[in-house]
Each structure stands twice: as structure tokens, then as C-alpha cells.
Amino acid sequence: MRLTKTIGAAGALILSALVGGTLIGSALATDDATDTDATGVTAEYCEIFMDGFASELGVTREAVVTAGRSAATAAIESAVAAGDLGEERADALHERI
């Protein structure tokens, strides 16, 4: 039971890191040439966060990304199965992953 909670918590952290990074990147992404430097700095801090997060978990960054993608895919499929998410929206989300 304790292992399940630990794994669940780790999965939630990974998913929140990926979602947070995606949302931050999306919110700050612009087409203006003057904001290019700011977006580059933001991307740099996202990279620092992901590297630190992986280090804290004692795994590689690739393992964190892979686990996050798997967790996101499972969450999408669960929402579709429950009828809370339509197939069209699920397909769009899968493409973003």
C-alpha cells in the first residue's frame, strides 16, 4: 500500500512537472521578435527545472519524460473510457504528447 502511494505521488509530480512546463511554455510563447530572448530564458529555466527534478528522483531526464508521457496517455485514456473526454479531443491531446 505504501509503495503504491509513493509511486502514485511520483507519477503525480512527474505529470504536474510536464503539464506545468507545457503550460508555462505555451503561455509565454509569442510570435513577437522582441520576446524571443525572454522565451529563450524561460526555456532555459524549464530545462534547469527538468534536470533538477530528474536528479532529485535519482533518474535520468529521459526517464522522467517517458514516465510523464505514459502517465498523461493513461489519464487521457481513462477520461475517454469514463466518457469525460471525447475521442476528437483525446486525439488532439495525444498529438501534443
- Mean pLDDT, residues 69-96 taken together: 93
The answer to whether 28 touches 39, Cβ cutoff 8 Å, is yes
Look up cell 529555466; give the residue: 45
Dig out the grid coordinates for 15 from the structure: 505529470
Work out the burial of residue 90: count CB atoms within 10 Å of its CB; fewer than 13 is exposed, 13-18 middle, 19 or more buried.
middle
Dig out the grid coordinates for 51 from the structure: 534536470
User: How would you classify residue 94: left for phi > 0, otherwise alpha for psi between -120 and 50, otherwise beta?
Assistant: alpha
Q: How many domains does one find in the chain?
A: 1
Look up cell 522522467; give the residue: 64
Is 63 a residue whose pLDDT tops 90?
A: yes
What does the pLDDT read at residue 43? 86
What does the pLDDT read at residue 76? 93
What does the pLDDT read at residue 14? 76
Is 80 a residue whose pLDDT tops 90?
A: yes
pLDDT tens-digit readout, 1-54:
566 666 666 676 777 676 666 666 655 665 555 555 667 788 899 899 999 999
Q: Is this structure's pTM higher than 0.75?
A: no
Give me the domain span that covers residue 55: 2-96
